[in-house]
Each structure stands twice: as C-alpha cells, then as structure tokens.
Chains A and B, each alone.
Chain A
Amino acid sequence: MNEQKSSQIEVGDGAAIPRRDDRGLVSAWWIALTGAVSLLILLPLLKPDPYLAIVRFIPDGVVITFKVTVSSIILAIIIGLLTGLGRISRNRIINLIASLYVEVVRGIPLLVQLFYIYFALGRIVRVPDIAAAIIAMAFCYGAYMGEVIRAGIKSIDRGQSEASRSLGFSRHQTMMYIVLPQAWRTILPPVGNEFIALLKDTSLVSILAVSDILRRGREYAAESFNYFETYTIIALVYLLITLILSKGISIMEYRLSHYERR
C-alpha cells in the first residue's frame, strides 16, 4: 500500500531496549528481571547479616543517582538539541563551534572530563559537588545527544521539508512543526539508550564525593569489610533500574509511533 519505510537509528551501547516482538516470559529481559528481583528479596531474607543492612544502607544513594541522572539527561538533551541543530546549521561559525565541541568531548574519557570540570570549576566558583557532577555529565552526554539528534533530523525525508516550505513555512517553522516532531520518534530509542548509559556512567561521580549508589556501597564495605556482598547488591540494584528503564522506554516508543500504525 505504501512503500515508504520509517527510518530507525541503530542502537549503540547500553542496555538493549526490548522490542514489541520479543514479548513472552522466555525473553532475556524477563529472565534478568525475575533473577534480579528474586535475589534482591531472597538474599536479605535468607542471610539478613549482612544483606539486610546493605539493602537498608543503599537507598539514599539510589535517590542521588536518580537526581544526577535525570538532571544530567535533561541538560544533555537541551545541549544536544542545540548541538544537533548547530551541526546542521548553514551558519559556518555555529556549525564549527558545534562540531568542535563534539570532537573535543568525544576525544576525552568521561572520567578525565569529570575530574577536569570538577577541579577547573572549583578554581573559579565553588559549586556543590552534586552540581559539578551534573554539569560534567551533561557536558559530555550533550555531545553524544547532539549526534543522535542530528542523525534523527537527517533521517526525515527531504520531501517533508519541501512540502512544508512549499506551503510557505520558514526554515524554522518547518523544523518546529514538521521535522522535529517526526524526528523525535526516531530519536527516542537512542536517547533512551543514552539515558541508560548515562545512569550507569553516573557511578563515576562516586569518585567526586557524591553519595550515589556506588559511593554508599563503598562506604559501607569499607566499614564492614563485606566487599563481596555489598557489590553483589550494588550490581543487582543497577541491573534492576536499567531493566525497568529499558522497558519504560520501549513502551514510550510504542506510544509515540501511533501514526506509523495502519
């Protein structure tokens, strides 16, 4: 009936976003989820010392991890949108600035950037540790987000913009009303993927005196010497969170694609 295909961006690193067609109980997602949930319930029940204490100690860190992740991703999407638009801009200077930013960020390990921004910022202004961590994460992920958004915009058929321009819409209006709303759907899976990757990478901020999941765990382990048990729980908590998030994103993706369904 209609030969036009909807475009999809290949998903890179991070947890796999479950697709609609691998539903059912025997999917990797379900096995991992039931495994993580039952271990998190059974371990404290069967061996309260030390698991129960660990499970009580960690949640404060989960809150911090979520705060850092959500704030960073929102900032990163804003930076990414500006970067993505800058990368396709016809203004050479804007284009160059955006490209330079992406090149620099992609060429430096995240951990090095975190240290750099944390200590460089610290010499100019005193910002709370958590704010420094958020700025650093957003600065880094904004570049990746910019590439995702650029690819998403590029994936929208030229005919859509031509039709819009031919009606009298300006370039900006065409971007706002026609291209971005459609690109958003294409962009969502990789953005969700970045979100999950970012959540995992927030574990790096534990080095900057931010009490996230990992730092809480390290503090507990250092006091109690229960290293193995503590890191088991930490791994399970991270796994559980990413599994839930990836499912949430897959549901959102399905909702957003309503106009592609016949």
Chain B
Amino acid sequence: MNAVDPIIRLRAVNKSFGAFQALCNINLDIHAGEKIVIIGPSGSGKSTLLRSINRLETIDSGSICIDGHDLYAPTENINTIRMEVGMVFQNFNLFRHKTALQNLTLAPIKLKNQPPAQAEEKARALLAKVGMSDRSEHYPVQLSGGQQQRVAIARALAMEPKIMLFDEPTSALDPEMINEVLEVMTTLAREGMTMVVVTHEMGFAREVADRILFMDQGKIISDHPPKVFFNSSGNPRIQLFLQQIL
C-alpha cells in the first residue's frame, strides 16, 4: 500500500432506510493522522456515515475501504478489520456485567490472545491515562456518564486501533461532564490518532479538527479546515445551522 493512500476511502456510498435516503453518493478520503469532525442537523446522515465506516450500518451500494481492506469483500474478515477501528458511542455501551478494568481486558484477552496479566497491566495504564485509575473495580452502573465515557474510550484504545470513531460522545452527558471527555479526546488527537468525530461541540471542532465536514440530507455539502469553515458566509444552510447551534 502506498503511503499516501487514504486510510479510509468511501466511493459512491448510498444508504436508504425505506424511502428515506440517509447517505447520498458519498465520496470521502481520510488520511492517517487526520482529525475529521462531522457536523450537521439531525437526520442529515452523519451518524449513519460514521457507523458505516465499521459496517455497523450496511450500505446499499458503493464501496468502503479501511487501510486497503474492502469492508464488503467476501475474502475479508469484518471482525479483523473492526479490531483496527475503535468506536465510542453516544450511550457509552460499557458491558454492564463487567468492571471498568474487565471492560478493557475482555477483547485483548479473547481476540488478541494477550496473557491476562499483560492485558491487565495495559488496561491499568489506559485507565490512568483517562483519569479513571481509582475506579477500575467499579461496575458501569456505579460510574457517572462522563466516567463511563472515559472508560469506553479506554476500552476502544485497549485494542490499539488505527482509527477511532466517535458517535456524538458527549451528547448524553450532563454539561459539567462534557469537558472531561473532550480533554481525553484532545489528548488523543495530539498523539496523532486518526479520528472521525460526530459532534455538536464547535469549540472542540475549531481547536482539534483538520477538516470539518458539514452534512445535510445525506450529502457532504462542505469539507474545509475550521478556519475556512467558520469564516465562510457562503452557504446559507450552514449559516442557519451555526446560528442555531452557537
């Protein structure tokens, strides 16, 4: 694979839910190390786009390649590809019957055959990184939303993915907990992780994003660096959205 080939490549991707077209002829290249923030009104297809990148949402037509692997090729193993793509959900989705530490160690032990002691050591380091060392033996139900989301980020990182997807990671959080999660994400971005983030946090987008994609009615109607995006008064649809959200 050529070094300049995109790590995520979407070509002519279409997806409908019944009569509703969620994704409309999407073409997108994302390169290793890039931080992409996707914004747009609800129902614009941004979550569907993100979820299609690890095939949690199957597409109707087009192609999606992750690191050179076609998600829909019969020769590819989707589970192997997914190990390279971490996902963080709006509702955290921590495994409710496992402690924070077990949430982190389960996949590396079962899928990468890591010795439990080694997986646990790495998990503790990751929990420390997201500031959750003192909660490693707690069950998800005993943690606040912000704490759960930080553990969820650490759980995804435990698989050492090349790409991290964030699906509205702060939308289900109380306002005072949003920053603790955004700080973890900012740190991750500084370390060079390839990130695709669906969010309404414009401050985060302005500070961290290399490119901001604006989606509306299943199409990417703007794809620019933050400076250009926030200063362009060109598109009235974007103007209206920004007025409503800021």
User: A residues near B, CB below 8 A?
Assistant: 1-2, 4, 157, 159-160, 162-170, 173, 177-178, 181-182, 185, 259-262
Contacts and interface: CB of A to CB of B under 8 A. Distances in A.
Interface in B76-94: 79-80, 82-83, 85-87, 89, 91, 93-94
B190 interface: no
Contacts of B118: none
Closest 7 CB pairs of A and B: A168-B83, A163-B93, A166-B87, A159-B93, A167-B107, A259-B139, A168-B82
Contacts of B145: 1-2
A177 B93 contact: no
A168 B80 contact: yes
Contacts of B227: none
A185 B107 CA distance: 22
11 contacts: A2-B140, A2-B141, A2-B145, A163-B152, A167-B87, A167-B159, A178-B95, A181-B97, A259-B96, A259-B140, A260-B139
A232 B141 CA distance: 49
Nearest to B159: A167
B159 A182 contact: no
Contacts, number: 80
Nearest to B90: A159
A173 B83 CA distance: 14
Given A166-B82, A173-B110, A160 B156 contact: no
A182 B96 contact: yes
A95 B157 CA distance: 37
Contacts of A164: 95
Interface of B: 54, 56, 79-80, 82-83, 85-87, 89, 91, 93-98, 106-107, 110-111, 139-145, 148, 152, 155-156, 159
A262 B141 contact: yes
Q: Which residue of B106, B145, B152 has the most chain A CB atoms within 10 A of its CB atom?
A: B106
Binding site of A, secondary structure by majority: helix, strand, loop or mixed? helix
B188 to A, nearest CB: 17
B56 A162 contact: yes
B85 A169 contact: no
Contacts of B144: 1-2
A1 B148 CA distance: 11
Contact of A259 (B79, B80, B141): B141
A167 B155 contact: yes
Q: Which residue of A4, A163, A165, A182 has the most chain B CB atoms within 10 A of its CB atom?
A: A163
B156 A167 contact: yes
A129 B156 CA distance: 56
Contact of B82 (A2, A4, A167, A185): A167
A41 B80 CA distance: 66
Contacts of B106: 177
A169 B95 contact: no
Q: Which residue of A4, A162, A166, A260 has the most chain B CB atoms within 10 A of its CB atom?
A: A166
A159 B140 CA distance: 14
Contacts of B85: 166
Given A159-B93, A163-B87, A168 B79 contact: yes
